[in-house]
Structure 1
């Protein structure tokens, strides 16, 4: 049995299947973990959703910002972005089944046997492990309830940008969602920045990568994340695994086999820019 972790799919179904073929992935024996953003700008978002869902207990994904946005568009809260290729999802006979499945996926996976955390964007520099898990659970419980639409209507803001235990209601939930699905850089006082998306070496001096801040959790746990395609080929701490290598932008899809830390890569078969 092997445990595989794959970066952002973004609708790049062909590259995912080519990667899995390289390692002879077998759902009855192996497990696949994905860092979210199953859908968006690739042309096979529907196939990605159906395939991951079909894996049952062998497939695990966290929610990414594009996944949440898709659910929002399904509810009519937002419109489909011009560059997204998700029309086939809306006309699929299993559309509602897929949306219900997607919104019930977690924001954080803690694999205690292998000692790793899977998130889409990152973990707040102000959280320890128990707080991170509790915060994820707060949002997950609402997304899995009948009241999830109100949360999605109110998640499209950048404030608050700093954690406090005193945060309540939608502000608290919005901060949690933004950390898990949108964060890249932070200020040295742990405030979140949502504007800068460049490689770390090109960032303004007042900003630093979230995983470089002085949170003991960032050294205690192995953290696997995606979301940040411009991190490709940038050096990260040995326990921090950035798996989004920009396949949808014409670069490559990356997969990590956890047991021996071997990487597998599949060049993009198409550039969707």
Structure 2
């Protein structure tokens, strides 16, 4: 049995199959960790979503900002954007089943044996791994509640800009969402800059890439979301897997134990 992690698929279904074929992936013996943004912007969002769901327990999925956007459209009354490729999902006969499956996925996963953490955008230095997992479970309980529409109506926004233990309700859940699914540049006190999408060297004054701040643990962190990094953080323990497939780059698959990266040109 081999565990692999894949970066942002974003509806590039054929490239996903290509890269899985390179390692002879089989759900009967292997497991696929998916670092969020399964869908949107690429040509085959519906096929991608159906395939990942079909893997059952052989897939460990965390939600990305594009996945949450689909749920905000389907459940929160938001509109499809001009560049979205979500309509085929919304029009599908199994749309309700797929969106229900999607909202029951995780915000973060942690493998204690390997000491590996995965979320779509990373792990802020202001949280320990146990704290991050507690906040992920808290938000997952909101997404998986019988009536999550209120959350999805109010999900979008850049405020609060940083974490405080005293936050409650939607302010608390929105900032947790932003750390797990939108974070790139962060200040020492935990404030997020959510506007800058450039390479790591081009952050605004007072902000650094989140993985540049020291941590007290040795946890490896797998993340996607930041295509401008081109898969490089310069720090071995921080593993960037968004290599811009949907933008004509590559789709990257990584063996969790050996660290080998397998690429498919897009």
Taking structure 2 as the reference length, what is the TM-score of the superposition?
0.97
| Preserved CA contact (<8 Å) 1:18 1:266 | yes
> What pairs with 1:1-273 in structure 2 (closer than 5 Å)?
1-75=1-75, 77-217=77-217, 220-268=218-266
With over 3 angstroms needed to count, the CA separation of the structure-2 counterparts of 1:109 and 1:17, relative to structure 1, is same
2:5 match: secondary structure: strand
Structure 1: where are the runs of 5+ without partners?
Answer: 269-273
Deviations 1:1-21 (A, max 9, x none): 111000001000011000000
Taking structure 1 as the reference length, what is the TM-score of the superposition?
0.94
In structure 1, how many angstroms separate the alpha carbons of the residues matched to 2:104 and 2:123?
20
Count the aligned residue pairs. Answer: 266
How far did 1:165 drift? 1.1
Deviations 1:97-116 (A, max 9, x none): 00000000000011122221
| Preserved CA contact (<8 Å) 2:76 2:149 | no
Structure 2: where are the runs of 5+ without partners?
Answer: none
How far did 1:139 drift? 0.6
How far did 1:76 drift? 5.1
2:117 match: secondary structure: strand
In structure 1, how many angstroms separate the alpha carbons of the residues matched to 2:148 and 2:124?
23
In structure 2, how many angstroms separate the alpha carbons of the residues matched to 1:31 and 1:233?
21
| Preserved CA contact (<8 Å) 1:43 1:86 | no
- Mean alpha-carbon deviation: is it higher for 1-10 or for 150-159? 150-159
How far did 1:205 drift? 4.1
Q: How large is the Cα RMSD of the aligned pairs? A: 1.2
In structure 2, how many angstroms separate the alpha carbons of the residues matched to 1:117 and 1:130?
10
- Mean alpha-carbon deviation: is it higher for 8-17 or for 114-123? 114-123
Misfit runs of 4+, over 6 Å: none
